[in-house]
Amino acid sequence: MDSTAWSCGLGHANRWRRLLIGVVIIMVACLVTGPGIRAQEATETTETPDVVIPGTGDADDSTAEASPEAEPEVTPTEQPSGDTAPDETEAAASTANVIEVSATDPGNPAVMAHGLAFLSGDQSVWQVREVEPSSIDQAASEISNAAFVYQVEGTSVIRNDVTGKRALLGPGEALFKAGGDAYTTFADSDDSLLWLFEVVGPSDVESDAFYESPLIDDYSEGVFDLLMIRYVLEPGEATTLPGHTGPALVTSVDGDIDVESGGIGLLATADGQLIIDDATVTNNSDNPAVFVMTAFGSHVGDATSSTGTASPETTEDVTTETDVEAEPATDAATTTEDPVTTEEPEAVDPSASDSGDAPAGGSQTSINITAQAELYLVVVADGVTVFDGPIPDGGQSGVIVGSTFEVFTSYGAGTLFSNACGEEFFMGFEEGEANYSLTATPESCAP
């Protein structure tokens, strides 16, 4: 073989070898990169279900195998709860007006009711009465002492006949009655039962009182804040009672309690005990116990007793204006000499004209009341109670402006009126309580 042919054959052989090597390299490359491609495809297939699960509700195991990077993708699964939030909000709003707190829930202490009450300083006692309210068609209006109404069973409606305002009481709830106001109590359920707590004179204790305290001699004269405070004690629990003015009354309304105040008193339901010094109440029974403390608190001065309705201008008008309003005062003086007419307050109404034909309530006037002796006074002007409290001898109610006036006094003969013209007169001469009505007319002095 010549050298030329050998070199051509060698060249062909080299090309085949290079071709084979290239094929081998390609095959090796395919073997190396193929698993990577398949791995990438596998990763993508596991991520795809994670995105679509929230829309389908699917719960296959692929979600549990999601990588940490895929966790943010899972947050859309929380969106359905967000969709239901408005429904929950609407449900809460629809029940927002329903008060589910009961007056018999545990609590130490809870002030159930309070108001201002006048103490005469005379000897007195606490009494507690059990009352079954009448039905609407049989209930009657009654003038009340300062008192607390505690609803024991059922429900009642109590109306202040002076202001027309009402309250609905359920079990364990209480209401303060202002002294001198008329109230009507209605049974709102067939099982309505209430207790009435009040301070009265020893000779004024009602026959139906189931508790009467010992005589009390150390109540000071004046106006005080009167409170009813309720306690609920669990078995073995004890509480120390707060300070108070004069003796306080502790009454068990449900359960057995031990009262330690200079000795030990054991009280069952409906039992009461006066306490003077510091006292501790303990529930040594096996069941929860509920009791109330009725007590006088802080003294309240006379600075807030006047309504202050008259401005400096109206005060000046009261002392300078004169018109025919002065005539009724002359009539009142005449009735002083006639004992028969003193029993008819309407006959000495200082705001009525001589003819009596003027329309009632056609204008405004004013009255001021001066106490000729210590007395208790309630004044309602145009349906609003503007004065309710005691007046010392020589004290005044202050100028009260209105069209109609309803006046309750504990001593008619000691109640001196003055009108907007500055004229003074008496409406009656009762030695005890009296009620007077006055109405402004177009002829009345302007306030």
pLDDT in tens, the chain (447 residues): 554 444 445 455 566 666 666 666 666 555 555 544 444 444 444 444 444 444 444 444 444 444 444 444 444 444 444 444 444 444 433 344 443 545 565 566 888 999 999 998 899 999 999 999 999 888 899 988 999 999 999 999 999 998 889 999 999 999 999 998 899 999 999 999 999 999 999 999 999 999 999 999 989 899 999 999 999 999 999 999 988 999 999 999 999 999 999 888 999 999 999 999 889 999 999 999 999 999 999 988 877 776 554 433 333 333 333 333 333 333 333 333 333 333 444 444 444 333 334 334 458 999 999 999 988 999 999 988 889 888 888 889 988 999 999 999 999 999 999 998 889 999 988 888 999 999 998 888 888
Structure tokens that stand for 33 in this block:
């990169």
* 8 Å CB contact between 310 and 258: no
> Can you spell out the DSSP letters for 245-279?
EEEEEEEEEES-EEEESSSEEEE-TT-EEEE-S--
> Residue 13's pLDDT is what?
56
- 43: enclosing H helix or E strand: helix 3-56
Distance (Å, whole) CA 276 – CA 266 = 17
pTM: 0.50
In this predicted structure, what is the pLDDT of residue 53?
Answer: 41
What pLDDT score was predicted for residue 443? 85
Instruction: Look at residue 109 in the predicted model and tell me its pLDDT.
Output: 83
CATH number of 110-299: 2.60.120.10
Contact call for residues 314 and 400 (beta carbons, < 8 A): no
Residue 6 C-alpha from the chain's centroid:
121
- Residue 447 DSSP code: -
CA-closest candidate to residue 111, choices 188, 183, 173, 167: 173
Query: From start to end of 77-214, where are the E strands?
Result: 110-119, 125-131, 142-143, 147-153, 156-160, 166-169, 174-177, 182-187, 193-200, 209-212
Give the helix/strand (H/E) hosting 73: none
Neighbouring C-beta atoms of residue 146, cutoff 10 Å: 21
Position 344 scores a pLDDT of 40
Per-residue pLDDT, 367: 94
CA distance 378 to 161: 13
Q: Which of 219, 272, 213 is nearest to 245 (CA)?
A: 219
Q: If you search the block for the tokens 């330690």, which residue do you land on?
A: 260
pLDDT computed for residue 14 by the predictor:
60
pLDDT of residue 23: 64
Closest to 160 measured CA to CA, from 176, 179, 181: 181
- pLDDT at position 61, please? 44
C-alpha of 83 from chain center: 38
173 vs 103: CA distance, rounded Å: 6
Residue ranges of E strands in 178-237: 182-187, 193-200, 209-212, 222-233
pLDDT at 336: 36
Q: What values do phi and psi take at 6, rounded to 5?
A: -65, -40
Structure tokens at 313: 């201008």
Rounded Cα distance, 204 and 95, in Å: 48
Give the pLDDT of residue 89: 43
DSSP state of 61: G
Chain-centre distance of CA 378, in angstroms?
24
Angstrom distance (rounded) from CA 426 to CA 341: 12
- Give the full edge-to-edge strand order of the sheet including 142-143: 142-143, 182-187, 156-160, 166-169
Distance CA(245)–CA(119), nearest Å, equals 11
Q: Which two tokens stand for residue 396?
A: 């005044």
